[in-house]
Every structure is written in C-alpha cells, then in structure tokens.
Structure 1
C-alpha cells in the first residue's frame, strides 16, 4: 500500500506541472516548497537541539503559540522549526521571530528523507490532523519521538472506514496523542491506540493569554465613545447580510466590522452597503466624525484584541460553507456571541450553544430578535457572557501537560 501511495503522490505532482504555466498560485506553491527545502540547512544544523512542529495553516499555528513560547522561554538555545502547508499560516508567521519557518515539501519518499535528515529534530509534533505518512516513516527510522497534539477524530474520518485501515495503522506509529475530546480518545482506544490523553483545545490557553495583553487602541476608544459596541469578526458577505439592516437601524450603538477578506473590492462593497455611516480603520484619524457609527477594519491582526471593546459579538463563517471562525477569541472577554446556522462539527460552538452563551441564527429576523434582546437587556448580556468566560477558564490548562511531555522528550 505504501508503494501505491507513493506512486499516487508522484503522479499527482507530475500531472499538475503543466498547469503551473497558467496558474501563478500553483507555480508559487511548488516553488516555495523547493526553496524551503534548500534553505533548511541555513536555519537549523543537524547537531542543534531542535523541535519540529508541523501545522496546516493559520488556525493550527495559533494553537501552538503558547507551547512554543513556553518552550523557548525555558531554553533559549532550543531551535524551533514550524512547517506550514498553506500560505496563510506561513505569511502570518513572518514576524514571529522566535522560530524558523518553512513550507513543508510534498510528501514524497525523497522529500521526507531529505527533510528529516537536514533538520534532524529531537522531537516532532504534528498539530491537529495534518499527518503525512512518508514523514512518519522517516521519523520512526531515526527513532525520533513523534507527538500528535490538539488532534480531533470522529467516526466518519477515512481512518475509521474499511478503506482507511492502512492510514489507521500509520497513526499507530505516533508515540503519543494529546486529543481535544473524549470522542477522539474513545475512537483511538477502540482501534487499539491507547497512548492517548485528553488535553482539550490549546487555542483556549492562547486566547486566555491574548485577553491579558495590554494593547492600546486610542482611536477606537474615541470612536466607541462609551456607547454599546457590537463587533462582527471574520464576517463574509452572507454574514453581513444577516446583521447589516439591524445595525443600520440602531441608535446609540457603535459597530466594528472586521471582514474575513480585506481585499479592496470587498471593503468597497461593504462601504457601499453601509452608506455614509462607515469609516475605514486606516482612515479613522482623518475621516472620523459624529455621523460615523460603523468602523470597518481594513487590515489583519488586530481583531483578537478588539473583542475587549465589545458588548456583543457576531462571529462569521456560519452562514455559508467556509467554516465557522474562532468564537473563543470573543468568548474569553465574557461577552455574548451570535453565530450563523452552520456550526455543527465545531465542538466549542456546539457546547456553548447548548450552554446558552452562544446563539445561532438562521435568518435576519432571528438575528434582529436576539440582537434587540441583548441591546435592551444588560442582565441578559452579562449572563451569556459569564457562561462563555466560565467555559474558557474551566477548559484551559491543556498546554501545560503537553509542554511537560515535550520537555521530557527533549531532555
């Protein structure tokens, strides 16, 4: 089966080559991986004490920051390499100076062998579920401890289907799993993988840290001016359509919209829909006046810090099929959260909807009803917010267990 897998990967790579002539994105995808492999030797020497984390994208990168920063603070000489599959995660790490970063070369036998030989990590960590078989094989050949952290498994995954048994057997090469929930642990145990602990979602530890950071936003405080503040974070057009009428009709409420896409056309479209009532964050000092009640965040990186100003938050992604965005970043600030209709499969959303700290809406009418209730009833807002904060604080601390295990393996 390994032979068939390797042949398949190589056929896919070869089949994609002609399309590089017509797709700049695809061409960059391949070029970045070649240059990453070439640059590794400059970043980490084979004799360095090092740990390698592999993440798929930005979300997984955020999940490991608490772990990475603690490991580095405990041993400044430790080299930390993070490999990425997608550009969004890689680009967001460019100013994260305590680590080295590369794109993960595609999972061919040759690439995996070259990569592992060049970095020669003391410990390897796959974050969540982005696990590649040739890399696992090379790590086990060199007897390098391998961990899976913040992983999440469910019955419908290919690992647990009749056609996925080979991949399931590859999972058994991982030395230890730190999973997010009981279901994941039970599934692994059922399939004779018993080296498992439940440590929850490490994003929870990260948002707790962020909530304690002191960051000043004087212009935003001036914009809010002690009014009730509604923040729509990571919203898509389908999300905007749900809440825009309500906020346009509301008085004495300030709204901050941080769209998921900050490309010029999307920002301009949002400005048209909000008429003359909005101002861009990049222009707030020049264009802010008493008529502006909507602030459009036209840059990335600040949203997770802005939720501290919110009395109510809406988190985007749930009205379409793009996937619900991070509700934990808002929940940690003890505020009520509203989301769209598509949230099944996001454990924290399912739990907080059940507990009552998060409300899911299917339509403009449903949003309007919940929004007006929250605006008019401060006690209701506080009650929902406290449910969210309690969830965060009662489910935190998993990173400490993971750090302890990684440190032991490094030593």
Structure 2
C-alpha cells in the first residue's frame, strides 16, 4: 500500500510541477523574489562543518514561533534551516545568524535523498504541519524525524496521513486534545504534550511611548463594523461606575478611522488619535497607526479582541494573552477555535454572547486585577518541556 501511495503521490507531484512551477517561478521573478530554484533542485549547496540538526519551517510565521527552540539548539549544535517561501528565506537569513539557511528541495524522493547525502543531518525537526510525503518518508529511513508544535490535520485519519504520521519518531504537541486524536494512529510513547510554542513570543517587551495618564483602559483590538458601536455602548454604561475610564479603539483596518470617528461623535465622546498624541486624555483614543497594537496590550486593564462579534471568525488572541491579561471575545471565533481552546485551558479567556455579557465580563476584569495570569510561569514550563524533549534526541 505504501508503494502505491508513493507512486500516486509522485505522479501527482510531477504533473503539478510541470504545470505550476513555471508559472510560480515567473510570478515570483516579476515581484523581485529569488525563489532559489537551484537550491530546490539540490544543484546548489552550502558547506557545513559538522552533521547539523535540520529544522524545517515553511513560513515566516513558523520561523518566528520556533525561534526560541532554534536559538536553543543553535547554541550547542550546528543548525540547518530549510524554508519554502522567499520571504521566509530572507527573514531567516536576517534573524538566524548562527544557522545555515537553504530552500527546501522539491518533494521528489531523489532530491530529498540527494539533500540528505550532502548535508548529512543527524535529525530532522518539522514545525507545525509540513507533512510532505517524501520529506518525511525518505528522511525517516536514515534519521529520526520529530514534529514540534504539531498542527493536526482535519482529515488526519485518511490513508495518506495515517501512513505518513507513523514514520515520525516523536510528536511534541500543543494540547491534550491533539494527543488523544494522535493516539489513534501512533504509539502513545511517541507523544508528549508541552504546550503552544506561540506562547513563547516576546512581542510585548518592545517599549512604546504611551501615557495612560492615570486612566483605566479598555482596549478593543482588531475591531470590525459593528463592533466599535457595541463596545462604545458598553463603555458608556461602564463610564458611570468608572469616571476615569478610557477606551482605546484599534480597528483591524486603519482606513476605517474616519468611519469610526463619526460613530464616536454620535455618542458625544471626546477623542484623540494615536498619530497625534501619545497621551490618553480623552474618552476614546483611536489607534490609527500600524504595527503597535501587540505592544499596547500590556497597558490595558481589560482587553476585547475583535472579529468575534462581527462574523469574521476572530484574530490572534495570543498577543494579548502574552500581556498577562485575560482576554474577552465574542462567540464568532471559528477561525481561531484551536487558539481559543488552548486559552480556555489556561483560564485566560472570557467568551460572551451579547452586549450584556460583554459589559459583565469587562466589569469583572476591571474589579478584579488579580485575574491576571502568570504568563512567565506558563512560558517557562513550555520552554523547559521543549528543551527536555529536544535534548533527548540531539
């Protein structure tokens, strides 16, 4: 059966390669990206001094998530990083000075064999859900293959995944729910739950110039229409009990600022813009700048994450949780369901169904500063768990 899967996979891959790779190559060239074609064909290689630990992260996001573990391993071993996209290649070159960075070969068995023959890795560590058949199958014949921060596919029990997942030596998972799913396919001793590597991010440590001016702050981040109006109505109710309360509104799309200003004016509230002042001395403070929201969460006393009342499906809640605060979201979170489930296990989230529940959740947080979570302890536990498991294999 494995031979049949490999044959059909190889046939499909060859067809897609001939049709789409030329188009993909031309489109990237037009954008000015070096797609590393020779590296992907293993016709251009780099030299290493020792047998490296091979770590594969497809995207820039995966590289950022795996950075703490990559840095730990590179402090004691030579590290070979493979990536898929040109942007992630540039990011890795810039931020991983102690690692050798190359493009992942196209997933033909003869290319994976050629790659392994040249670089002679001692182990392959794959981040999240990069379940390329030949990458895993061919590599597993000569070296251990580990999956870290594993993202379990929705159709995990089909023949392709059941065959491939059995080739892994170890899975280091985000949560127990994923472990229960995986136990139906692989041996239990191959599974360890350490937590989500995304929680090791240090995003909140960048200093930004923001003066709370002695105010209590509700921060509504990544909001969409009609969420601004809902949160403003709740804010007006809470303002009666907290005269020093201010609302920081950070819309998902800054081009909506003029629209939001009109909504604020209808509520007869004073307002100011982030681009004009760093001091919060009005009822509403609107973030009309880019790239600062993640660093503002630590200033908030209560946090609401948008895209969850509007039928959007949610946005990144972990950036807010890293501030050590519990977050509040609406009931439309289908795009971040896995993150919400993990946040629930950390007791770091309130899910509300209507405006009244939103008001009660914010009130509860404002009245109970001790509801903050010990994010440093959580991060330390996750990091030490990953270090322990990785050390067993390298």
TM-score band w.r.t. shorter chain: 0.7 to 0.9
Q: Pick the aligned partner of 2:218 from 207, 230, 252.
A: 230
> Counterpart in 2 of 1:308?
298
> Counterpart in 1 of 2:390?
406
Residue deviations 1:108-147 (CA, integer Å, cap 9, x gap):
4455345444544332111122221111133124x12210
Check whether the contact 1:33–1:105 (CA below 8 A) recurs between aligned residues. Answer: no
Q: Pick the aligned partner of 2:47 from 45, 50, 55.
A: 45
SS at match of 1:148: strand
Map 1:182-197 onto structure 2 (within 5 A). 182-194=176-188, 195-197=190-192
Verify: 1:198 aligned to 2:193, yes or no. yes
Which one has a bigger Cα radius of gyration? 2
Aligned equivalents of 2:326, 2:15: Cα separation in 1: 50
SS at match of 2:83: strand
Q: Larger deviation: 343-352 or 193-202? A: 343-352
SS at match of 2:148: strand
> Counterpart in 2 of 1:270?
257
Flag the 1:368–1:2 CA change in 2: closer, same or farther, 3 A. same
Check whether the contact 1:126–1:147 (CA below 8 A) recurs between aligned residues. Answer: yes
Flag the 1:84–1:18 CA change in 2: closer, same or farther, 3 A. closer
Flag the 1:238–1:148 CA change in 2: closer, same or farther, 3 A. farther
Q: Pick the aligned partner of 2:155 from 153, 158, 165.
A: 158
Q: Pick the aligned partner of 1:350 from 341, 346, 368.
A: 341
- The RMSD of aligned alpha carbons is 4.0
Aligned equivalents of 1:237, 1:82: Cα separation in 2: 40
Aligned equivalents of 2:32, 2:101: Cα separation in 1: 15
TM-superposed deviation, 1:210 = 5.3
> Counterpart in 1 of 2:78?
78
Flag the 1:312–1:378 CA change in 2: closer, same or farther, 3 A. closer
Give the TM-score, by structure 2 length: 0.76
Residue deviations 1:339-379 (CA, integer Å, cap 9, x gap):
131336734523655886422234556535544x25xx733
Check whether the contact 2:301–2:366 (CA below 8 A) recurs between aligned residues. Answer: no
Q: List runs of 5+ in structure 2 lacking aligned partners.
A: 266-270
Aligned equivalents of 2:82, 2:131: Cα separation in 1: 14
SS at match of 2:295: helix
TM-superposed deviation, 1:267 = 1.7
> Counterpart in 2 of 1:135?
135
Q: List runs of 5+ in structure 1 lacking aligned partners.
A: 261-265
Residue deviations 1:298-335 (CA, integer Å, cap 9, x gap):
333x4443322111112244346765433233234332
Flag the 1:62–1:303 CA change in 2: closer, same or farther, 3 A. farther
Aligned equivalents of 1:241, 1:118: Cα separation in 2: 60
Aligned equivalents of 2:290, 2:118: Cα separation in 1: 37
Give the TM-score, by structure 1 length: 0.73
> Counterpart in 2 of 1:263?
none
Flag the 1:46–1:92 CA change in 2: closer, same or farther, 3 A. closer
Aligned residues: 376
TM-superposed deviation, 1:257 = 4.5
More helix by share: 1
Flag the 1:351–1:177 CA change in 2: closer, same or farther, 3 A. closer
SS at match of 2:393: helix
Residue deviations 1:147-192 (CA, integer Å, cap 9, x gap):
01122437xx3221xxx22321111111111122223333333324
Map 1:6-405 onto structure 2 (within 5 A). 6-16=10-20, 24=27, 32=35, 34=37, 37=40, 44-73=46-75, 75=76, 78-84=78-84, 87=87, 93=92, 95-98=94-97, 99-141=99-141, 143-153=142-152, 157-160=154-157, 164-194=158-188, 195-204=190-199, 206-207=200-201, 213=205, 215-217=206-208, 219-220=209-210, 222=211, 224-236=212-224, 240=228, 242-243=230-231, 246=234, 252-260=244-252, 266-275=253-262, 277-281=271-275, 284=277, 293-296=284-287, 298-300=289-291, 302-319=292-309, 324-343=314-333, 346-350=337-341, 352-353=343-344, 357-363=348-354, 366-368=357-359, 370-371=361-362, 373-374=363-364, 378-380=366-368, 382-383=369-370, 385-386=371-372, 389-390=373-374, 393=377, 396-405=380-389
Aligned equivalents of 2:43, 2:118: Cα separation in 1: 7
SS at match of 1:274: helix
